[in-house]
Amino acid sequence: MNIRDGGGLTHLREIISNIHDTSLLFDQVIVWGNQSCLDALPNRSWLIKIQPLRENAGIIKTTLWQVFQLSSAAEKMGCSILFIAGGSSFTSFKPYVTICHNMLPFTENALELYGVRSRRLKFQLLRFIQLQTFRRAKGVIFLSNWAMQHLRSLMAKSDLLYTVIPHGINSGFHITNRVHRNIADCSQEQPFTIIYISRIEPYKKQLEVIQCLNKVRLNTGWPIRLVLAGLASDHSYLQEMHQLIQKSSRDENWISYMGPVPYENLREIYTSADLAVFASTCENMPIILLEKMAAGLPIVCSNVAPMPDFLEGAGLLVDIEDETDFSIKLQSLIQNREYRTKLSQIAQINAVKYQWSKTAKETFQFLFSSQ
């Protein structure tokens, strides 16, 4: 009920799309959700989609439905187990398995970036709700070993079943025969294009990326273009970003913000880019990073856990908070075509291990064993 966009929706859509009937282990799968979520899911003979509330139902109505009606709805449909795909629920139905998608409520360094604003209070409330959801669960799925190690001690439940099942990567993001251009061959008409696709949030560090790239441009005179894209979850931070774009771009317009990009249009952006940045300092398992790896993009990435675990040498790790370290390493990668080519090849090799079919199979096996 509480999945509308982002990694949670991608995860649900992909595990349903990639499960084979022989691996399903259940006669039926029922999804209760809002219309935008249900529309994103494929049609399957064994899949029943139910929209219990109107599309514009707010958080209060959604929460009340979960508290007072989800359990009886699941019992009426003969459910043997419930999967809380959004990570938070107040249902009394037992047994259920949940999943940990969001590490922001549990990462104090990232929360401090929100000061005393209402969004920080929201994340602190979400921390409490998710911990209660985890503690009442029969089992919890983690996306990374780092997240599991970070959170298990907070759950205080000895009989909890848990497993680590990483996300997969949609095969459509694999781009072969990528051409890596020399910076000397780029021009104002065909600039060296750097992309950063991610939500617009303080911990995603878009401001630091803009400042770093502006410093590189001023130092080198290179024809660089920065493309930013992603849903603006924090509007005050979005306003800061727009102000910095105006200040840094002046009349050159070398920075563009595309807003949220439909999932099906991401491949086109990855194809047009020469290099990708991933500057986030708080993640569980970033699907966007994996997609950039699959696309064969050389990547400059935050050195904060768990990013190094997923890159495995397929990108250049930097301290995003250190502008000198960030700009020097970024500049060196831009001018070293051979190194970019090598990182691209390693990234695509590493990305192959993340298959949605494997994620789907292991997820349904864990659900079946948790009944």
CA 91 to chain centre: 26
Q: Is the pLDDT of residue 3 over 70?
A: no
- Residues 192, 153, single domain; the answer is no
152 vs 189, higher pLDDT: 189
- Whether residue 195 sits in one domain with residue 208: yes
| pLDDT, position 88 | 87
Q: Are residues 188 and 103 in the same domain?
A: no
In a domain, 110, yes or no: yes
Q: Is residue 1 predicted with pLDDT exceeding 60?
A: no
Supply the range of the domain harboring residue 148: 6-168+355-369
Q: Span 42-54, mean pLDDT?
A: 92
Give the pLDDT confidence score for residue 4 in this predicted structure.
63
First to last CA, the chain: 21
Confidence class for position 36, pLDDT limits 50, 70, 90: confident
Please tell me the distance from the alpha carbon of residue 265 to that of residue 267, in angstroms, as a whole number: 6
Q: Which two tokens stand for residue 275?
A: 């290099």
What lies within 8 Å, CB to CB, of 351 at 6+ separation is 169, 174, 290, 293, 294, 314
Give me the pLDDT at residue 208, please: 97
Q: What is the mean pLDDT of residues 149-163?
A: 85
Query: Could you read off the pLDDT of 308-362 as tens digits, one per residue?
Result: 999 999 999 999 999 999 999 999 999 999 999 999 999 999 999 999 999 999 9
Mean pLDDT of the chain, nearest integer: 91
Residue 269 lies in a domain: yes
- Band (60; pLDDT cuts 50, 70, 90): confident
Residue 1 lies in a domain: no
Angle at 63 between CA 46 and CA 129, to 5 degrees: 100
Average pLDDT over residues 66-86: 93
Q: What is the pLDDT of residue 31?
A: 94
For residues 66 and 146, membership in a common domain is answered with yes
Instruction: Name the pLDDT band for 5 (thresholds 50, 70, 90).
Output: low
Q: What is the mean pLDDT of residues 237-250?
A: 92
On whether both 203 and 162 belong to a single domain, the answer is: no
Pairing of strands 161-164, 255-257: unpaired
Q: What is the CATH number of the domain that holds 340?
A: 3.40.50.2000
- Whether 284 maps to a domain, the answer reads yes
pLDDT of 7 strictly over 90: no
Strand partners, 226: 194, 255
If pLDDT is split at 50, 70 and 90, which confidence band does 217 have?
very high
pLDDT, tens digit, 9 for 90 and up, residues 245-262: 999 987 678 999 999 998
85 and 175 housed in the same domain = no
Closest of 227, 223, 161, 145 to residue 188, by C-alpha: 223
Among 196, 264, 253, CA closest to 230? 196
Whether residues 210 and 158 fall in one domain: no
Q: What are the residues facing 278 on neighbouring strands?
A: 301
Confidence category of residue 144, pLDDT binned at 50, 70, 90 = very high
